[in-house]
């Protein structure tokens, strides 16, 4: 599905060369849920930009869904981003004044062929993330967690081969973060390939496989001892809250 | 259509920042409104010039006594233009259809019982009507018999008729011109104001013989009105008249002319010289304001591009090509300038109508400012919108999403 071969990336600052990626190579199979972990400065963001076809590597090949990406011109690479990749960003990156529906429709605007049922597809995607009732809400009228769910719907609407989530819980509280992770896990169970980039081991452990970056290389490629289930964690959190509330109410009654 | 979807994105983006959109439009609105007013004024002027030329007569040439450029008519102190000069013009220059030698004096008192008026008296040959293409409305023009006997008969203009007779029938009545009795034979139709702005209906026409011998006691002419066969002959005949009179009056280059030849094209040039300069200045001001509007547009759009880096980066990440971003921003500029142009046209047209009715400078609405306005606003949008659009299209998604 996705294959990186000896990817290197070196930044030039004046005459000083700073190598960030020094030969990253791995494969992700169809339907996998992979987390890429690393402390800051390990080349996580650079790798994410390359995986997302947003930036070119200094050397190496990248195969995505049977296509060699970087031997194409900018227009074709834009088309690949549009068709093959669904992005979920840490900062959500929604258009502030557009409705949830407008935001989800955005990738379709740049599609080779605008689907006749675009609005229907966007509404379906929003329903899939539990926002079927809030199509006309603007980001300002939605909570952080809801905004990130709009972003996930936007990533889904083109039916991409890969969902690429860059620190999707980074700007969210614990509960909203778990909600987002539960959606990603659900999408993965339905067969979607998900690559998650994070510095947080607790988040990474929701994936079946964790790649750890160190010094611009894949340092470790392993499965977590036990895969966390976000929905179960949410339920547990719910139970604690309910019992807390019950306790509070009891105290109030006494 | 992808283009249509991009346009829609542009419109939505403009709606999101109405104040900035309005500020950008303002420059174009002012420029196009000014342009509309100026073109309406220029149009009115050229229409006035055309009317002036028509009034003067498109096939007419006037040979005035007296040189100098600033004297509008004949100079009464110059006594070198003779009947023989007029006859030479008729016999020696081809293409001359007729000549009408005249003696002319203005500010002559004319009275009838208690009423009085001041008139321009023209002593002219009997072909005056054909020479001016101006005919009597009531009564008759004087005839050869009157001319031969230097009869005291007159044809009067509408202003004179109105001031002396106040609606009563002047035909056959006796009026006093410069103290002598004249019988009114006819009343001319109305001609309105001359190209130079003076009343043309204050005329009293008398036989040229009467004027020369009995009234002004002169042997020379004030002016000869000449008509040529066709419009295409005007320039050539005017040139030949100049040459002929130079020869007859023995005028060599350092000497000043003691005559002046005015043709229909001279009238047009004269009228346009006055208003043309003003219009050029106004057009320059308009051009400057459009350029300023364009620069304001460019700066605000550049600012907008910087402000919207994240949006641009997002659009690129979601699959927007460089061209798509370029087009979106170009459409934004175009939409703003075109809308500004339309508003400017409406305001300018309204201002032109108000100006035309309130001030003395007339205005004429026409399709030219419409076409120019729309064309120019699209041009301003394209020219000044291109740089910001290009900058937007070159933003790297990686930088923008950071």
Distance (Å) from the alpha carbon of A110 to chain B's nearest alpha carbon: 5
> What is the predicted pLDDT for the residue at B71?
53
Q: How many CB pairs under 8 A join A and B?
A: 64
CA-based nearest distance B304→chain A, Å: 15
Return the structure tokens found at A122: 């966007």
What integer pLDDT is reported at residue B272 of this predicted model? 66
Give pLDDT, residue B37.
84
End-to-end Cα spacing for chain B: 31
Q: Contact B102/B225 with Cβ under 8 angstroms?
A: yes
Tell me what pLDDT residue B40 has: 82
Tell me if chain A has a CB within 8 Å of the CB of B19. no
Window 159-218 of A, Cβ < 8 Å to B: none
Among residues B43, B14, B47, which one has the least CA distance to residue B348? B43
A110–B318 CB contact, under 8 Å: yes
Q: What is the pLDDT of residue B185?
A: 93
Block mean pLDDT (10 aa), chain B, length 402: 85 83 87 85 77 79 78 72 90 91 91 89 92 90 91 93 89 90 92 75 92 90 90 87 90 82 76 70 82 91 92 95 95 93 91 81 76 89 96 92 81
pLDDT at residue B343, as a whole number = 93
CB contact under 8 A, A82 and B311: no
The pLDDT, as a whole number, for residue B10 is 87
Higher pLDDT, B47 or A149: A149
Query: Using CA atoms, how far apart are residues B144 and B126, in angstroms rounded to an integer?
Result: 7
pLDDT at position A2 over 90:
yes
Q: Which residues contact B250 (CB under 8 A, 6 or more apart)?
A: none
Domain ranges of chain A: 2-253
Phi, psi of B6 (to 5 degrees): -65, -40
What does the pLDDT read at residue B262?
86
* pLDDT value at residue A197: 96
- Sort strands A209-214 and A217-222 into parallel, antiparallel or unpaired: antiparallel
pLDDT score recorded for residue A34: 97
| Mean pLDDT for the stretch of residues A88-116 | 93
Judged by average pLDDT, the poorest of A94-103, A156-165, B268-277 is: B268-277
Any idea which residue has 């081809």 for tokens?
Answer: B94
Residues B208 and B155: their CA atoms lie apart, in Å, by 12
Which CATH class for the A2-253 domain?
alpha beta
Q: What is the CA radius of gyration of chain A?
A: 20
Q: Which residues contact A126 (CB under 8 A, 6 or more apart)?
A: A100, A101, A104, A132, A134, A135, A150, A153
Q: Which residues of B touch A110 (CB under 8 A)?
A: 2, 315, 318-321, 324
């Amino acid at each position: 599905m996705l294959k990186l071969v000896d990817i290197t990336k070196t930044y030039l600052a004046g005459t000083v060369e700073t190598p960030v990626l020094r030969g990253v190579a791995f494969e992700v199979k169809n339907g996998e849920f992979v987390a890429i972990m690393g402390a800051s400065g390990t080349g996580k963001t650079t790798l994410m930009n390359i995986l997302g076809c947003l930036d070119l590597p200094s050397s190496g090949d990248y195969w995505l869904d049977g296509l060699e990406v970087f031997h194409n011109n900018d227009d074709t690479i834009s088309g690949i981003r549009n068709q093959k990749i669904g992005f979920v960003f840490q900062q959500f990156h929604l258009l502030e004044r557009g409705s949830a529906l407008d935001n989800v429709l955005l990738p379709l605007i740049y599609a080779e062929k605008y689907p006749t049922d675009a609005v229907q597809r966007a509404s379906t995607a929003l329903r899939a993330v539990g926002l079927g009732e809030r199509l006309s809400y603007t980001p300002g009228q939605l909570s952080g967690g809801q905004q990130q769910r709009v972003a996930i719907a936007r990533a889904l609407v083109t039916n991409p081969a890969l969902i690429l989530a860059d620190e999707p819980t980074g700007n969210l509280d614990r509960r909203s973060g778990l909600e987002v992770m539960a959606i990603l896990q659900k999408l993965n169970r339905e067969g979607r390939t998900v690559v998650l980039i994070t510095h947080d081991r607790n988040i990474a452990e929701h994936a079946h496989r964790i790649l750890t970056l160190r010094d611009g290389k894949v340092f470790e490629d392993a499965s977590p001892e036990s895969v966390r289930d976000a929905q179960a964690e949410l339920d547990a959190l719910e139970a604690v809250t309910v019992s807390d509330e019950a306790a509070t109410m009891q105290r109030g009654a006494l | 259509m992808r283009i249509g979807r991009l346009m829609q994105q542009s419109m939505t983006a403009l709606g999101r920042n109405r104040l900035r959109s309005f500020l950008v439009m303002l420059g174009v609105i002012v420029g196009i409104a000014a342009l509309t007013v100026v073109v309406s004024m220029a149009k009115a002027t050229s229409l006035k010039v055309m009317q002036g030329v028509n009034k003067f007569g498109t096939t007419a040439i006037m040979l005035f006594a007296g040189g100098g450029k600033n004297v509008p008519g004949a100079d009464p102190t110059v006594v070198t233009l003779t009947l023989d000069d007029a006859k030479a013009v008729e016999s020696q220059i081809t293409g001359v259809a007729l000549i009408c030698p005249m003696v002319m004096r203005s500010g002559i008192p004319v009275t009838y019982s208690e009423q009085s008026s001041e008139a321009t008296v023209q002593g002219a040959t009997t072909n005056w009507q054909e020479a001016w293409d101006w005919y009597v409305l009531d009564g008759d023009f004087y005839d050869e018999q009157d001319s031969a006997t230097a009869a005291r008969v007159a044809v009067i203009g509408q202003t004179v008729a109105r001031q002396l007779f106040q609606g009563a029938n002047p035909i056959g009545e006796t009026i006093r011109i410069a103290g002598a009795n004249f019988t009114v034979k006819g009343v001319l139709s109305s001609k309105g104001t001359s190209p130079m702005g003076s009343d043309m209906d204050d005329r009293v026409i008398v036989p040229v013989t009467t004027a020369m011998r009995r009234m002004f006691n002169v042997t020379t002419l004030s002016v000869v009105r000449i008509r040529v066969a066709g419009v295409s002959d005007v320039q050539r005949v005017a040139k030949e008249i100049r040459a002929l009179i130079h020869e007859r009056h023995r005028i060599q280059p350092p000497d000043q002319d003691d005559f002046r030849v005015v043709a229909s094209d001279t009238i047009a040039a004269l009228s346009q010289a006055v208003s043309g300069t003003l219009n050029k200045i106004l057009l320059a001001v308009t051009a400057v304001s459009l350029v300023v509007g364009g620069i304001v547009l460019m700066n605000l759009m550049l600012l907008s591009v910087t402000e919207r880096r994240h949006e641009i980066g997002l659009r690129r990440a979601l699959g927007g090509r460089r061209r798509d971003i370029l087009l979106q921003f170009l459409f934004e500029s175009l939409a703003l300038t075109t809308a500004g142009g339309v508003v400017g046209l409406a305001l300018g047209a309204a201002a032109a109508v108000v100006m035309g009715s309130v001030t003395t400078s007339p205005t004429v609405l026409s399709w030219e400012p419409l076409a120019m306005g729309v064309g120019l606003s699209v041009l301003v949008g394209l020219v000044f919108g291109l740089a910001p659009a290009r900058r937007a299209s070159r933003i790297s998604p990686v930088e923008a999403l950071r």
